[in-house]
Amino acid sequence: MCPGFKKVGQMKVYLDYAATAPVKKEVLLAMEPYFKEKFGNASSIHFWGRQARSAIDQARATIANFFGSSSMEIIFTASGTEADNLAIMGVVLKSKIKKPHIITSAIEHHAVIKTCEFLEKRGMAEVTYIKPNREGIIEVAAIEKAIRTNTILVSIMYVNNEIGTVQPIREIGKMIEKVNRDRATNNRQRIYFHTDAVQAAEYQPMNVDFLHIDMLTISGHKIGTPKGIGALYVRKNTPLSSIIYGGEQEMGLRAGTENVPYIVGLGKAVDLIHKSKPKNEKIKKLRDYYIERITKEIPDVYLNGSQKSRTPNNANFYFKYIEGESIVLSLDLEGIACSTGSACTSQALEPSHVIMAVFDDHFRAAGSVRFSLGEETTKKDLDFAIGKLKKVIKRLRAISPYAKGK
Amino acid sequence: MAIDKLYNKKVTDYFLHPKNMGEIKNPSGVGRVGNPVCGDVMELYIKVGEKNGQEVITDAKFKTFGCGAAIASSSMMTEMIKGKTIKEALKISNLAVAEALGGLPTVKRHCSILAKEALEKAVASWQK
């Protein structure tokens, strides 16, 4: 059943978990005392302060344990976006190279792309945006080829938020490590490797040594906390500058009074993932069922992204001859939530930069829709969505000038 | 804007139940405007006949690839021009289309402009 609509008459199905997920009840419960009862400022030395500090320490230790890192390597931020900004700007600001070079991809989240564009425009960095292959995968060889003598940072997302492709993070990490070994023998500055793992935390391996990464971003509200909390893992000895100035919180890397209840919530959410049995198979089975029925029962539908290297909760389709917002809007009126990166929905009026980077096709960018499943998604939800979707696609194609005779 | 709907009731209604949707066989004029880059493509068909010595749009239909506002705007345009003389029809502004729909969100104003352009192009193709 769908969160939030359990008692209302019209059936509603939420298939937009990649946008945000409901707060888990265990998380809310863990957070609760830290609003009124244990409300102290963690920087205070009195009892209330120590109580808050201890809660933060505990959350930090839990998250560090999840990453296989030490507590000192976890920086709490207000969002995944802020963590991405800190990783990229932080390394560039600290760099001794006059104009350092960053390698990222053309399918990154805007939190990474816009930050890189800003640095580029300001003349603070050179940036290479690697194009994905037709499967939506960033190839290790393409990154290796783009490395220059002034390259100091590689930032590649773990799981793409739109088309769900899982990037070869571990392979990229190993390749960079090899390059760094050569650089070390020549006394040259090493390359740091950052990954935005916002869409990955729930379903992918997250051990930072296994992945061979230096920095990793997570966001709370995708995994069951309220919106407004994120974290950046920063490997020891990674030269990083703060981008928010003030107090000495978060090892001097993120000023501002710690958001104690939200930090506690993030700790709990991570703990739940760490301790729960892997649910990849269950959700993947549901998702595969969804993909199979849609691609079989609706004509002229194409799956965007890789079949094989794909996060288990994502399905993204190109519905030929029609436009995405009209699909999302029609489904919304039927009680189904999904999303599109296409022209109209995002107020930006820009086609999905991800679909454009993969296919370079405006029709495909305009006509693609993402469905993302979550913990509470059932087969019944999907059957309901498929039924409505078939009706909606048929209706919109009847209106479209491109679907004549289809 | 009300939180329960992306568009107002009228736009939603014209999106879900568009009037004059389809094509006219042997039309007097057709206008196709827009492109997939901006996300909307409209096709407007008109049939022109004589009435009291004047050239009148006797029928109008549309086909649209695009968002809800684009579909609603093109449908509303066909409704507004039916029965009007060519001269009268060309006087209909994009704002009049948006107003007839009870208003469009700011980011969707271009949809009503597109509807006007589609009509102008259809008339131009008839005049040829």
Q: Would you say residue A28 lies in a domain?
A: no
- Considering only CB atoms, A342 lies closest to which of B12, B39, B42, namely B39
- Please tell me the predicted confidence (pLDDT) of residue A264: 98
- Please tell me the predicted confidence (pLDDT) of residue A215: 98
Query: Any idea what DSSP says for residue A305?
Result: S
- Please tell me the predicted confidence (pLDDT) of residue A349: 62
Task: With beta carbons under 8 A apart, name residues in chain A contacting B111.
Answer: none
Residues in chain B: 128
- Please tell me the predicted confidence (pLDDT) of residue A6: 45
Pair A54, A179 in one domain? yes
- Please tell me the predicted confidence (pLDDT) of residue B1: 41
Q: Would you say residue A323 lies in a domain?
A: yes
Residue A29 near chain B (CB below 8 Å)? no
pLDDT tens readout for residues A47-87: 999 999 999 999 999 999 999 999 999 999 999 999 999 99
A218: tokens are 């997570």
- Please tell me the predicted confidence (pLDDT) of residue A350: 74
| CA-angle at A271, arms to A265 and A275, nearest 5° | 150
Residue A392 near chain B (CB below 8 Å)? no
Q: Would you say residue A406 lies in a domain?
A: no
- Please tell me the predicted confidence (pLDDT) of residue A351: 82
Residue A309 has pLDDT above 80, yes or no: yes
Binning pLDDT at 50, 70 and 90, where does residue A10 land?
Answer: confident
Number of domains within chain B: 1
CATH number at residue A389: 3.90.1150.10
Number of domains within chain A: 2
Give catalytic status of residue B67 as yes or no.
no
- Please tell me the predicted confidence (pLDDT) of residue A342: 47
Inter-chain touch A400–B64, beta carbons under 8 Å: yes
Q: Would you say residue B23 lies in a domain?
A: yes
CATH number at residue A252: 3.40.640.10
Q: To probe the interface with A, which of B67, B104, B106, B121 has the most A CB atoms within 10 Å?
A: B67
Pair A271, A308 in one domain? no
User: What are the CA-CA distances from residue A216 to residues A89, A378, B98, B112 (Å)?
Assistant: 14, 31, 47, 45
Residue A217: what are its φ and ψ, rounded to 5°? -105, 135
Pair A319, A379 in one domain? yes
Pair A353, A222 in one domain? no
Residue B31 has pLDDT above 90, yes or no: yes
Average pLDDT over residues A323-337: 94
Q: Would you say residue B4 lies in a domain?
A: no
Task: With beta carbons under 8 A apart, name residues in chain A contacting B43.
Answer: 401
Q: What is the mean pLDDT of chain B?
A: 93
List, as ranges, residues 315-374 from A with C-beta within 8 Å of B.
321-323, 325-326, 329-330, 332-333, 342-344, 347, 349, 351, 362-363, 366
Residue A1 has pLDDT above 50, yes or no: no
Nearest residue to B66 (alpha-carbon basis) of A248, A402, A42: A402
Q: Would you say residue A336 lies in a domain?
A: yes
pLDDT tens readout for residues A202-251: 999 999 999 999 999 999 999 999 999 999 999 999 999 999 999 999 99
- Please tell me the predicted confidence (pLDDT) of residue B107: 84
Strands A215-219 vs A230-234: parallel, antiparallel or unpaired: antiparallel
Residue A332 has pLDDT above 70, yes or no: yes
Q: Would you say residue A5 lies in a domain?
A: no
Domain end, chosen from A275, A298, A330, is at A275
Q: Would you say residue B30 lies in a domain?
A: yes
Binning pLDDT at 50, 70 and 90, where does residue A273 land?
Answer: very high
Q: Would you say residue A30 lies in a domain?
A: no
- Please tell me the predicted confidence (pLDDT) of residue B36: 84
Pair A121, A252 in one domain? yes
Pair A323, A265 in one domain? no
Q: Would you say residue B1 lies in a domain?
A: no
Q: Would you say residue B3 lies in a domain?
A: no
pLDDT tens readout for residues A377-398: 999 999 999 999 999 999 999 9
State the ipTM, two decimals.
0.94
pLDDT tens readout for residues B40-75: 999 999 999 998 889 999 999 999 999 999 999 999
Residue A365 has pLDDT above 50, yes or no: yes
Domain end, chosen from A275, A290, A324, is at A275
Decide: A195 and A213 in contact? Cβ < 8 Å.
Answer: yes
pTM reported for the whole predicted model: 0.94
DSSP string, A312-362: TTEEEEEETTS-HHHHHHHHHHTTEE-B--STTTSTT----HHHHHHH--H
Pair A333, A321 in one domain? yes
Give catalytic status of residue B38 as yes or no.
yes
Pair A187, A293 in one domain? no
Residue A114 has pLDDT above 50, yes or no: yes
CATH number at residue B101: 3.90.1010.10
Q: In terms of residue numbers, what domain contains A365?
A: 13-23+278-399
For chain A, report the end-to-end CA distance as a whole number of angstroms: 35
Pair A252, A389 in one domain? no
Task: With beta carbons under 8 A apart, name residues in chain A contacting B104.
Answer: none
Pair A220, A92 in one domain? yes
- Please tell me the predicted confidence (pLDDT) of residue A344: 43
pLDDT tens readout for residues A176-187: 999 999 999 998
Residue A322 has pLDDT above 70, yes or no: yes
Inter-chain touch B36–A344, beta carbons under 8 Å: no
Cα R_g (chain B), whole angstroms: 14
- Please tell me the predicted confidence (pLDDT) of residue B5: 67
3-state secondary structure of A189: coil
Nearest residue to B67 (alpha-carbon basis) of B1, B3, B7, B2: B7
Q: Would you say residue A32 lies in a domain?
A: no
- Please tell me the predicted confidence (pLDDT) of residue B58: 97
More confident residue, A404 or A27: A27
Q: Would you say residue A287 lies in a domain?
A: yes
- Please tell me the predicted confidence (pLDDT) of residue A209: 98
Q: In terms of residue numbers, what domain contains B52?
A: 9-127
Pair A261, A131 in one domain? yes
In percent, the amount of chain A with pLDDT more than 70 equals 95
Domain end, chosen from A253, A275, A297, is at A275
Pair A302, A232 in one domain? no
Q: What is the mean pLDDT of chain A?
A: 94
